[in-house]
C-alpha cells in the first residue's frame, strides 16, 4: 500500500505578562512582533515556508502556527511537530532576553486560562471518493480515540476532563473551521492532484507534549483510513449524536457510554477496541503497542500509560498537587498551563522528558528535523530549493504545490505529487541559481523579498531598525 501523506498544523497560545504593575499591557500584535523580531520572517511577512519543508506563520488572532512538512509516516510527522516546537522555543528565549518589562509565554495547548481555544489540525491525503460520503464510523472512531490522544486539562468549572477543546466543537463537518469549529473541515484544498486526491482535515484533536502520543494519534488514524479505503465499513459503529458523545467521552473518559445510531450503546474504550480489532483482522498494520494500551485501560491499569498519554500524565500531576496543596490552591491552574509552556525554566514538558516521565523522540533527530525535510516526500524538493535560494540570496515564491524563482524570473514549477521526492526540473533550477549571477536588487527589494542582510557589508545598520 502506498504510504499515506500526513501532516500537522499546531497553533500556539502567546501571552505577554508584565514584570510589575507599572508595566503597560502588551497587545497581541506587539507580542507577535517581539516573538518574530530578528527572524527571517520579520520583514517579509509573518508567513514563511522553511528549509525543512514546513511553514511558520501567524494565524487569525495573532498567535503563531507551525505546519509540518508533508510526511509519509507518523514518526516523521511527530519529529516535524517537535521541530516546530523547538524553533518557537528558541524564538521565545531570544525575545525574553531582549525584553525588560514583559515576559512572553508560548503554550502548546488547546485552551488557555480565559478558555480561548487553539487548534491542532491533522491532514491526511485520501482518495477523493473516501470523502463522498465519509464513513460515519470514522467519526465514531475519532470520538473514541480521545481516550488515547487527548491532552487533558481543566474545564471552565475547574473539573478535570480529557479534552477541554472538545467542548468548543459543535458540528461534525463544516467548511468554516474558524467560526463553527467542526470535527472535520470540508474545505476542498487537496494540495495535490485534485482529480485523484482530497485532503481530510481533522480539526478536532489535541496538541500533545508526549511524542509518542502524537505519533500514535497519527499512525492509528492513518491505519483506520487504510481500513476504510480497503473496503471495510465501520457504518455499524455510527453514533446517534457524535458531538454529545465527544463531550461525554471528555467528561467521563474511557468508560463513557456512547449511544449508537442503530440502537444500543458501547463504552468509548470498547468502541476503540472494536475498531483496532478490525484493523488487526485485516492485517493492515501492526498495532501491538496500541492493543497493549487498550488492554491496560480495560484492565484498570491506565496510570502505567502516563509517559505515552498526555491526559493521564497531567491528571497524575494535578492530583498529586491537589493532595499536597488542596484542590482550590491557585498553583493547580498554573500547573495545568505549565504542562504546555515552552519556556524551559517555567514549563514542565522538557523536565518530564528529561526525567523519563514523558516519552520523547531523540533530541538529535528533532534538531535535525529543524533544518532537514523528510527525504521521501515533496517536502525534500521544496526544502532544498528554499535552502539554496536563501543561501544565494534569490527572491522566490513557494506554496505547498509550487516553487518559482523570481530573481531572475523563471516559470513556476508545479508539484502536485506529494509523494514525489525528486524532480529534474527542480534540480535544473537549482543549478541555474548556482551558475547564473543574481540580478542586482535594491535594498527595498531585498527587504520585500526577505533575503540577505538589510545593510551592505561594512556599512553600519540603520539606527532603530525594527
Contact at 8 Å (CB) between 229 and 157? no
Strands in 24-115 per DSSP E: 47-49, 55-59, 63-67, 102-107
Q: Per the structure block, which three cell numbers stand in for 241?
A: 449524536
Q: Is 270 a catalytic residue?
A: no
- The three three-digit cell numbers of residue 433, written as one number: 541559481
- Joined together, the cell numbers standing for residue 207 give 496538541
DSSP letters of 42-55? Answer: HHH-SEEE-TTS-E
Candidates 138, 137, 78, 119; CA nearest to 204 is: 119
Confirm if 80 and 69 have CB atoms less than 8 A apart: yes
> Which residues lie closer than 8 Å to 201 by C-beta, 6 or more apart?
121, 122, 123, 177, 184, 185, 187, 189
From the candidates 59, 226, 343, 423, give the one annotated as an active-site residue: 59
Asked if residue 302 lies in contact with residue 312, where contact means CB atoms within 8 angstroms, the answer is yes
Contact 293, 308 (CB under 8 A): yes
The residue written with cell numbers 470523502 in the block is 131
Nearest to 432 by CA among 378, 379, 396, 383: 396
Which residues are catalytic, by number?
59
Amino acid at each position: 500500500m502506498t504510504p499515506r501523506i500526513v501532516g500537522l498544523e499546531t497553533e500556539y497560545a502567546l501571552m505577554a505578562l508584565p514584570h510589575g504593575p507599572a508595566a503597560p499591557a502588551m497587545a497581541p500584535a506587539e507580542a507577535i512582533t517581539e516573538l518574530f523580531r530578528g527572524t527571517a520572517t520579520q520583514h517579509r511577512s509573518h508567513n514563511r515556508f522553511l528549509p525543512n519543508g514546513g511553514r511558520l506563520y501567524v494565524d487569525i488572532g495573532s498567535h503563531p502556527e507551525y505546519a509540518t512538512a508533508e510526511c509519509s509516516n507518523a514518526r516523521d510527522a511527530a519529529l516535524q511537530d517537535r521541530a516546530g516546537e523547538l524553533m518557537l522555543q528558541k524564538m521565545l528565549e531570544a525575545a525574553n532576553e531582549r525584553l525588560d518589562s514583559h515576559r512572553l509565554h508560548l503554550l502548546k495547548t488547546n485552551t488557555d486560562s480565559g478558555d480561548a481555544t487553539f487548534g491542532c489540525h491533522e491532514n491526511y491525503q485520501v482518495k477523493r471518493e473516501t470523502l463522498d460520503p465519509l464513513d460515519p464510523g470514522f467519526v465514531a472512531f475519532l470520538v473514541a480515540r480521545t481516550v488515547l490522544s487527548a491532552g487533558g486539562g481543566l474545564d471552565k468549572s475547574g473539573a478535570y476532563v480529557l479534552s477541554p477543546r472538545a467542548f468548543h466543537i459543535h458540528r461534525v463537518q463544516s467548511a468554516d473551521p474558524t467560526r463553527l469549529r467542526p470535527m472535520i473541515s470540508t474545505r476542498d484544498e487537496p494540495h495535490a492532484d485534485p482529480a485523484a486526491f482530497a485532503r481530510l482535515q481533522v480539526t478536532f484533536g489535541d496538541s500533545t507534549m508526549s511524542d509518542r502520543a502524537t505519533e500514535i494519534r497519527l499512525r492509528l488514524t492513518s491505519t483506520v483510513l487504510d481500513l476504510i479505503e480497503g473496503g471495510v465499513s465501520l457504518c455499524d459503529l455510527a453514533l446517534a449524536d457524535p458531538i454529545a458523545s465527544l463531550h461525554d467521552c471528555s467528561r467521563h473518559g474511557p468508560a463513557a457510554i456512547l449511544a449508537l445510531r442503530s440502537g444500543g450503546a458501547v463504552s468509548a474504550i470498547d468502541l476503540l477496541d472494536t475498531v483496532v480489532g478490525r484493523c488487526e483482522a485485516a492485517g493492515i498494520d501492526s498495532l501491538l503497542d496500541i492493543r497493549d494500551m487498550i488492554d491496560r485501560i480495560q484492565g484498570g491499569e491506565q496510570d502505567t500509560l502516563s509517559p505515552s498519554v498526555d491526559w493521564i500524565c497531567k491528571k497524575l500531576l494535578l492530583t498529586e498537587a491537589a493532595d499536597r496543596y488542596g484542590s482550590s490552591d491557585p498553583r493547580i491552574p498554573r500547573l495545568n498551563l505549565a504542562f504546555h509552556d515552552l519556556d524551559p525554566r517555567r514549563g514542565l514538558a522538557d523536565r518530564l522528558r528529561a526525567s523519563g516521565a514523558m516519552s520523547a523522540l531523540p533530541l538529535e533527530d528533532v534538531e535535525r528535523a529543524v533544518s532537514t525535510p523528510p527525504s521521501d516526500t515533496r517536502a525534500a524538493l521544496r526544502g532544498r530549493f528554499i535552502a539554496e535560494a536563501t543561501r544565494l540570496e534569490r527572491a522566490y515564491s513557494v506554496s505547498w504545490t509550487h516553487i518559482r524563482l523570481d530573481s531572475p524570473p523563471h516559470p513556476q514549477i508545479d508539484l502536485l505529487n506529494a509523494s514525489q521526492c525528486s524532480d529534474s526540473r527542480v534540480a535544473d533550477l537549482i543549478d541555474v541559481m548556482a551558475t547564473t549571477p543574481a540580478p542586482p536588487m535594491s535594498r527595498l527589494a531585498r527587504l520585500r523579498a526577505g533575503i540577505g542582510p538589510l545593510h551592505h557589508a561594512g556599512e553600519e545598520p540603520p539606527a532603530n531598525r525594527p
